[in-house]
Each structure stands twice: as C-alpha cells, then as structure tokens.
A = this chain, B = another copy of it.
Amino acid sequence: MTYTLAILGCGVMGQALLSAIYNAPKAADETAAAFYPSKIITCNHDEPSAQQVTDLVETFDESPNGIKVESTYGHNVSAVEEASVVLLGTKPFLAEEVLNGVKSVIGGKLLISLAAGWTIDQLSQYTSTVCRVMTNTPAKYGYGCAVVSYSADVSKEQKPLVNELISQVGKYVELPEKNMDAATALVGSGPAFVLLMLESLMESGLKLGIPLQESKECAMKVLEGTVKMVEKSGAHPSVLKHQVCTPGGTTIAGLCVMEEKGVKSGIINGVEEAARVASQLGQKKK
C-alpha cells in the first residue's frame, strides 16, 4: 500500500521530518515499508520558502525507500486532496488560516499536527482522525522526543504508521491528551531546562579553574554518558546515584549541598510553571 503525505507548512520542523523520513534506512520488511509514503508533497506559502525545500531535497541521495518529493506553494488544496496523510507543520497562529483553506478536502484524511496548543477537539473540526504531537528542538537533529495523543477515531492499524514516521526524529511516547500540557513543559520546554543545567555544570568547571571549552566538553559528556548508563543498566536513577557515592566522599558532599539549595524542587517548580502557562495559553485559544 503506498500513499502520499502532504506537509502543510514545511519550515524548520517540517523540513526536519521531511529529511528524516526521506532518508530513513530501507524498511526491514513489507509491513514497515507500507508505513512510508511513496510521495511527499511539501506546501509552503511562497516561492522562496518552496525553493528552500527544493534546494534541501537536492542535497539528498536516492531515498532508501524510493520516496519522491514535490515541493509546492499555493497548492495546499490539491496536495491535501491527493494525500491520505497530512502533516501540519505551520506555526500555531497560522494553523487556523491554513486548515480553513483545505477544509473542503481534508475530511477523512489522517491529520498529524505539530501545532502547539491546538487540541484534538479543535483539529477534529477538520477531520475525525487526528493525532496531536508535542515534540522539541532536538528533533531537528534526529534526537527529539515526541509525545503523541490520538482522537478516538484513529484505528489501531493507523498508529504504527504515525509511530514509524515520528520515530525518525526521536523517541515516540503515546500519552492521553490530558497529559499534553505536562508534555509541553517536560518535552517541549525541556531542552531549555537541560541547557540551563548544562550551563550550570559548565560554569562550575569554569569557576573551579577548568577552561571554558573543556568545561563544556566534560559537562556535555557527563550529561550524555549518565543517561546512557541509565538506559543500558535499566537501573533506577537513585540506585545508580548512590553507587557513585564513596562514603564521606566528594559526590555525597556535593549532592547534599544541591539538596539544601533546593535544586530538585527548583527544577520541579519550573517545569510546573511551564505546564501552568501551557494550560493558560490553551484556555486563551478556546
């Protein structure tokens, strides 16, 4: 079964998905192969942005799954008409205008929305099979995390297709829509919080006399290496944390100061605030 995928609004995130899906390694079997479109139509709002997509695609080799790309602008209706899966990649404040523009043809199509704040109810005014995705900036580098919620009409058979496409840019995590504000805070804003932590470790090294570049390299490798250790060991973070603590040593001393300064609760309060604002912004849009 091959199908056409239309990308409405092929900007930063749209192009990240386009290149990840286009360049995905050859599907392992027929079932997986069926999840890949034979054709992707990218829809931008003007010629320069469409040209940007064309130039990007020219840098690609042959798609391992034989995908063809047609870069267009001003042809949203015909693109959506031809497609059976539509990826909404526009900025949230442009989404209404773009969706209304294809209202006559989008009914019955599977709509994958990256537009932050747009609820399944709101998207379901256009088509009943909707999945709402909250991803983040690391997706541009294929290291994203994407939380996905579905409308009731999305069948069990359609979910693996969404999973296969979205997983090309990062980790796919399905959650009910009630968790979307939390996902916005933890996954959407999360990278900024981690960057704050990275800066803190960098500045610690700097303050202690390690040059900036080495401080940054060490901080980055410690962050990445520690997550890999959790992943590979499967152990609970606290179990691993205590394994690092030599009795009376440097580690437990540092941890106790961080506990005392409320690092953990500061992070938790920050993520909570982000979720609160996310739900507030959601209210305003209704």
Residues on A facing B (Cβ under 8 Å)? 116, 136-141, 143-145, 147, 170-171, 173, 175, 178-179, 181-212, 214-233, 236-278, 281
- How many angstroms from the CA of A33 to the CA of B147 in the assembled complex? 46
Whether the pair A190, B238 counts as a contact (CB closer than 8 A) is no
A207 to chain B, nearest CB (A): 4
A267's nearest neighbour on chain B, judged by CB, is B200
A254, B236: Cβ atoms closer than 8 Å: no
Q: Are B249 and A281 in contact (CB under 8 A)?
A: yes
Most buried by B among A141, A233, A249: A249
> Which residue of chain B is the closest to A144 with respect to CB atoms?
B225
Task: Please indicate the chain B residues that have their CB under 8 angstroms from the CB of A184 in the complex.
Answer: 250
- The distance from the CB of A205 to the nearest CB of chain B, in whole angstroms, is 5
Q: Check A250 against B221 for contact (C-beta < 8 Å).
A: no
Residues from chain B with a CB closer than 8 A to the CB of A183 are 210, 218
Residue on B nearest A194 in the bound complex, by CB: B226
User: Could you give 27 example pairs across A and B, Cβ below 8 Å?
Assistant: A136-B222, A138-B222, A139-B225, A141-B225, A173-B218, A179-B208, A182-B210, A186-B205, A189-B244, A189-B251, A191-B222, A191-B241, A193-B201, A193-B222, A193-B258, A199-B241, A203-B256, A206-B252, A207-B248, A220-B231, A223-B223, A238-B239, A250-B275, A258-B267, A259-B264, A263-B263, A263-B266
